[in-house]
């Protein structure tokens, strides 16, 4: 009898142990795993970097090369698996370099990489390999991140989500819709879980438009927080790089790795004493409690579905303890912001692209005039899909005619209008005692590709962040009735990234609306096993 009872007790104990192991070894969907989750799996030996890279490559093969053929990737790093294996060995022998050790990263193809071409999406820079990495790319590699590949973009970071080298990028939520530009390849790739982390660039909304259109998180940092050295310029007064990911945590953990004063980029001097190396410390789920949030109602009213999602988001903030107040921008700013933007952006590209092109090798254009001349020789599609990009190339001529950097039209805006805009926004934030201003990142749902407008949407507020140089964090807010994502922007004063990340994280944790696009579903056996 005692033996029988002992057997039953032993069986019960084994069952409890088995149950405990099953509970502890929970699985997280591949697209939902944060970089923190991946590091826990690395530490528990349930995942290696090599396996993670293999899973990312499998998704690229399934959805970029096949399936919906999103056309987000221009170049893959042929040594990615070799690098991952080396980093796995290093982890075992020395431990991780940083939270990004062994994490795959995808780069918009206007970031210099010493081991892969940097083309800006243009057939005119095809196969151009820079001599070294962009500053932030080197920082990522030094932290142990793996550059998995380079992504499609609006050519030279302007125009529709199309390039002469990479063609049209598709939106994984609806391939007939634009992924927005100019970081459309990064937006689509990160939404489709090609990698946990991507980098975009933003001059007038080019991180934030693709973040909202593809239903992911994106940050346009304060101008000067991240170095632009080694990034093909569009307009250095406005240009900044920034991270794009599927969670606010991943934005925070990657941002800290990339900050730093760079002697090659004078703008980074502004960040001295104001940058952090660990932004995850600011992430608090209750950050909305007691916060004072302004809703910029000037940017509602263009799409009833978008408006409904934003109103729902505001209600979630109120329930989390925030006070929400209406704010309005001065009419003169709303009427003038696009003119101010164009007065800087167009002449600066004409001047600054030549400085970048001067370093390219023999046979490549060396200035805007040579780009224009080269473009006239491309008249039809090649077998690989590369071909003319008339919308962007027509813009070349407008840029060439925009005047010089000593022109009164340029100087008056740079020296007087931009400081005036900064003062107005700072005054609005202070007068209303706001922690942030929120607004629909795009006032309308993603347009059909056949109808997408390559020019900036004047109804959007995104370029106010560029005119001021202030940071803007985008977080998924919901979906329209036709299942298209809507993002909400958290906009604040210079170097307020800690506050914006805290608020965005709090909102994300209260709502959890991001999801894997229907056209890029989970692949078999890709869940991440957690300890």
C-alpha span between 226 and 275 (Å, rounded) = 9
Active site (annotated) includes residue 206: yes
For residue 271, give both structure tokens. 């960040």
Phi (first) and psi of residue 434, to 5 degrees: -90, 140
Give every CB contact of residue 127 below 8 A, 6+ residues apart in sequence: 117, 119
Residues pairing with 149 in the sheet: 76, 106
Active site (annotated) includes residue 108: yes
**CA atoms 408, 414, 418, 419: torsion sign:** negative
> Out of 206, 247, 375, 496, which one is annotated catalytic?
206
Task: Give the position of tokens 């909102």.
Answer: 507
Active site (annotated) includes residue 182: yes
Q: In whole angstroms, how far apart are CA 504 and each of 37, 115, 249, 252, 473?
A: 19, 35, 10, 11, 7
**CA atoms 329, 334, 336, 338: torsion sign:** positive
Q: In whole angstroms, how far apart are CA 292 and each of 96, 257, 288, 410, 465?
A: 39, 30, 8, 37, 19
Q: Is the peptide bond before 182 cis (omega within 30 degrees of 0)?
A: yes
> Out of 158, 182, 254, 271, which one is annotated catalytic?
182
Provide the Cα torsion 71, 194, 232, 401; round to 10°.
Answer: 40
> Out of 49, 108, 150, 489, which one is annotated catalytic?
108
Give every CB contact of residue 101 below 8 A, 6+ residues apart in sequence: 42, 49, 87, 90, 91, 143, 144, 145
- Across 377-411, b (16+ Cβ under 10 Å) vs e yields ebeeeeeeebeebebbbebbeebbebeeeeeeebe
Taking a C-beta distance cutoff of 8 angstroms, is the pair 530, 34 a contact?
A: no
3-state SS of 264-285?
Answer: CCHHHHHHCCCCCCCHHHHCCC
Give every CB contact of residue 39 below 8 A, 6+ residues apart in sequence: 96, 99
Nearest to 79 by CA among 57, 112, 46, 48: 57
What ranges in 295-449 are assigned the alpha helix state H?
Answer: 304-319, 331-357, 368-375, 390-400, 408-412, 418-431
Report the length, in residues, of the chain: 531
Nearest to 438 by CA among 284, 208, 255: 208
Nearest to 284 by CA among 493, 489, 474, 509: 509
C-alpha span between 476 and 461 (Å, rounded) = 17
Phi (first) and psi of residue 267, to 5 degrees: -60, -25
For residue 153, give both structure tokens. 């973009």
Give the pairing of strands 104-108 and 197-202.
Answer: parallel
List the catalytic residues.
Answer: 108, 182, 206
């Amino acid at each position: 009898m005692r033996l029988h009872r002992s057997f039953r007790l032993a069986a019960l104990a084994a069952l409890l142990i088995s149950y405990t192991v099953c509970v502890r070894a929970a699985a997280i969907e591949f697209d939902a795993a944060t970089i923190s989750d991946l590091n826990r799996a690395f530490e528990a030996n349930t995942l290696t970097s090599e396996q993670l890279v293999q899973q990312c490559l499998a998704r690229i093969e399934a959805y970029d090369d096949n399936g919906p053929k999103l056309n987000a990737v221009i170049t893959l790093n042929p040594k990615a698996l070799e690098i991952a294996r080396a980093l796995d060995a290093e982890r075992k022998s020395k431990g991780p370099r940083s939270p990004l050790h062994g994490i795959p990263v995808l780069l918009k193809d206007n970031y210099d990489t010493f081991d892969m071409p940097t083309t800006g999406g243009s057939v005119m820079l095809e196969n151009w390999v820079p001599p070294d990495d962009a500053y932030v790319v080197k920082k990522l590699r030094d932290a142990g991140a793996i550059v998995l590949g380079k992504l499609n973009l609006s050519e030279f970071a302007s125009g529709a989500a199309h390039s002469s080298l990479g063609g049209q990028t598709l939106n994984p939520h609806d391939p007939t819709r634009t992924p927005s530009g100019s970081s459309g390849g990064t937006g689509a790739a990160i939404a489709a879980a090609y990698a946990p982390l991507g980098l975009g660039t933003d001059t007038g909304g080019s991180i934030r438009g693709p973040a909202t259109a593809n239903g992911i998180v994106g940050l346009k940092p304060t101008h000067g927080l991240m170095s632009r050295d080694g990034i093909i310029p569009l307009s250095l007064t406005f240009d900044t790089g920034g991270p794009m990911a599927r969670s606010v945590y991943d934005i925070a953990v990657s941002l800290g790795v990339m900050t730093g004063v760079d002697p090659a980029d004078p703008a980074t001097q502004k960040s001295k004493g104001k940058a952090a190396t660990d932004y995850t410390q600011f992430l608090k789920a209750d950050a909305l409690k007691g916060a004072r949030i302004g809703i910029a109602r000037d940017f509602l009213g263009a799409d009833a579905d978008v408006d409904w999602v934003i109103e729902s988001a505001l209600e979630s903030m109120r329930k989390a303890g925030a006070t929400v107040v209406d704010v309005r921008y001065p009419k003169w700013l709303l009427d003038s912001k696009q003119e101010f933007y164009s007065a800087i952006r167009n002449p600066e590209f004409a001047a600054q692209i030549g400085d970048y092109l001067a370093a390219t090798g023999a046979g490549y254009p060396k200035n805007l005039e040579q780009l224009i001349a080269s473009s006239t020789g491309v008249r039809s599609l090649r077998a690989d899909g590369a071909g003319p990009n008339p919308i962007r190339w027509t813009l070349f001529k407008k840029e060439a005619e925009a005047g010089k950097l000593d022109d009164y039209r340029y100087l008056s805006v740079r020296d007087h209008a931009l400081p005036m805009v900064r003062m107005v926004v700072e005054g609005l934030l202070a007068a209303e005692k706001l922690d942030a201003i929120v607004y629909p990142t795009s006032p309308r749902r993603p347009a059909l590709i056949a109808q997408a407008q390559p020019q900036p949407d004047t109804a959007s507020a995104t370029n106010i962040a560029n005119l001021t140089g202030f940071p803007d964090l985008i977080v998924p807010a919901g979906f329209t009735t036709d299942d298209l994502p809507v993002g909400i922007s958290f906009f604040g004063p210079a170097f307020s990234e800690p506050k914006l990340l805290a608020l965005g994280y709090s909102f994300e944790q209260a709502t959890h609306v991001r999801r894997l696009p229907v056209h890029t579903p989970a692949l078999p056996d890709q869940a991440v096993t957690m300890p």
